[in-house]
Amino acid sequence: MHARTLGLLAGVLVLCCLGYLTLGARAGWDFILPFRAPKLAALLLVGASVSTATVLFQTITGNRILTPAIMGFDWLYVLLVTVAVHTIGGFALADLPPLVFFAIASLIMVAASLLLFGTLLLEARQDLIRMILTGVILSGLFRAGNGFLQRMIDPNEFSVIQVASYARFNVIDTEILPVAALLTLLGLAAAWRMRHRLDVLALGRDAAINLGEDPRRGYLQVLVVVAVLVSVSTAFVGPVVFLGLIVAAIAHVLTPVPYHAVLLPSAALVSMITLVGGQAILERVLHLSTPLSVIVDVAGGAVFILLLFRSLRP
């Protein structure tokens, strides 16, 4: 089912990867590869984790115009890093092994998002617009709070945060790649294992209970996976608000089925194509200096308003 579409997407992705690795290369493979391969791997990881986080989030909130980033997840992560720098110091933080740092950050992130979004958002599920508005305002709050704390921090330590709070695809910190890869793959595997339960959860609370699924437990587990995926991708490239929204919307058009076994890979493929292909074109063909995330945000804002309008139609 939809195997052909998925195969086609995979083919396009391979082409994009080849393009990313070879376009504009003036030296041999052995010289280029160590430079570009880790970046490519990072882009692929981020692509898959952003799309998966979005699809999972849309499933538990029962809505297709949502993405964790609109609700402020990304900025929550950045804020947590800032608070950490503020309390224990940037250099102490930089000295921590990346795995420990990630583990701590993701744990706090999971706890905070459960507290905040679990109670606030899932309870307010009926009143969609109010819920989104809350998320957008929370996002602004985290952003402003982050800005405020940054001003209170020693300029030397400031550089540590700046690395975390900027969406950047051209300069990717390859040092944390193995850790991030491990965590992302774990998150993706968890999502994939849940794929049939997700189909059930997507039917809504009552239907899920009737089908023998505990929705509360399910939502909780999904939120944990989302929090991990968001932390990893934000730590890697910074906040990208609308990427998840766009790719999930495209995936719904390309593979219009409610099954997560199709939806998850399809969204992931679209997401990776967008990032790798977009970055290849931007960097090597157009030679634009603007980060891809900015362009994705412009397009994504428009898509969001469009989706919102469409969801209003009876």
Partner 1 sequence: MAFRIGLVLVAALSVWSIFTGVIDLTPAQAVTDPGGIALIGISRAPRTLAVLITGAMLAVAGAVMQVILRNRFVEPMTIGTGQGAALGILFASFLIPGAPLVVRMVFATVTALAATFLFLLIVRRLPPTQPLLVPLIGLVYGGLLEAGMTFIAYQYDMLQYIYTWTSGEFSGVLLGRYELLWIAVPVGAALYLIADQLAIIGLGRSMAVSLGLNYGQVMALALLAVAVVVSLTVVTVGMIPFVGLLVPNIVSRRYGDNLRQTLPLVALTGAGLVLASDIFARLVRYPFEVPVGTIFGVMGAVVFLFLLYSRPRHAR
- Contact between residue 51 and residue 270 where contact means Cβ atoms under 8 Å apart: yes
Which DSSP category does 257 fall into? Answer: -
Site string for partner 1, 203-242 (x = CB under 8 A): --------------------------------------x-
How far does Cα 121 stand from its chain's mean position?
19
- Least Cβ distance, residue 288 to partner 1 (angstroms): 7
298 belongs to the binding site for partner 1 (CB under 8 A): yes
312 belongs to the binding site for partner 1 (CB under 8 A): yes
Number of shown-chain residues binding partner 1 (CB under 8 A): 33
| Phi then psi dihedrals of residue 106, to 5 deg | -65, -35
Of 95-103, 197-205, 216-224, 283-291, the window that binds partner 1 (rule: CB under 8 A) is: 283-291
143 belongs to the binding site for partner 1 (CB under 8 A): yes
Among 11, 24, 34, 147, contact with partner 1 (rule: CB under 8 A)? 147
CA distance 144 to 238: 16
Each residue of 236-273: b (16+ CB within 10 Å) or e?
A: bbbbbbbbbbbbbbbbbebbeeeebebbbbbbbbbbbb
Q: Site residues for partner 1, window 7-26 (CB under 8 A)?
A: none
Q: What is the dihedral of CA 131, 246, 278, 22, to 10 degrees?
A: 110
Which tokens in the block code for residue 274? 């967008």
Among 132, 172, 188, 194, contact with partner 1 (rule: CB under 8 A)? 132
Of 46-54, 55-63, 246-254, 303-311, the window that binds partner 1 (rule: CB under 8 A) is: 303-311
CA distance 165 to 171: 13
Q: Which of 83, 50, 95 is nearest to 236 (CA)?
A: 50
In this structure, the number of other CB atoms found within 10 A of the CB of residue 216 comes to 13
Of 45-53, 86-94, 177-185, 301-309, the window that binds partner 1 (rule: CB under 8 A) is: 301-309
For partner 1, the closer CB: 218 or 300: 300
- Least Cβ distance, residue 300 to partner 1 (angstroms): 8
285 belongs to the binding site for partner 1 (CB under 8 A): no
For partner 1, the closer CB: 57 or 102: 57
- Least Cβ distance, residue 298 to partner 1 (angstroms): 5
For partner 1, the closer CB: 265 or 291: 291
| 3 state SS of 313 | coil
Q: Site residues for partner 1, window 148-187 (CB under 8 A)?
A: 148, 151-152
Each residue of 14-39: b (16+ CB within 10 Å) or e?
A: eebbebbbeeeeeeeeeeeeeebebb
- Least Cβ distance, residue 133 to partner 1 (angstroms): 5
Per the listing, tokens 């493979």 go with 29
- Least Cβ distance, residue 19 to partner 1 (angstroms): 23
In this structure, the number of other CB atoms found within 10 A of the CB of residue 279 comes to 20
Among 62, 145, 173, 259, contact with partner 1 (rule: CB under 8 A)? 145
- Contact between residue 94 and residue 156 where contact means Cβ atoms under 8 Å apart: no
129 belongs to the binding site for partner 1 (CB under 8 A): yes
Footprint of partner 1 (CB under 8 A): 129-130, 132-134, 136-138, 140-141, 143-145, 147-148, 151-152, 241, 288-291, 294-295, 297-298, 301-302, 304-305, 308-309, 312
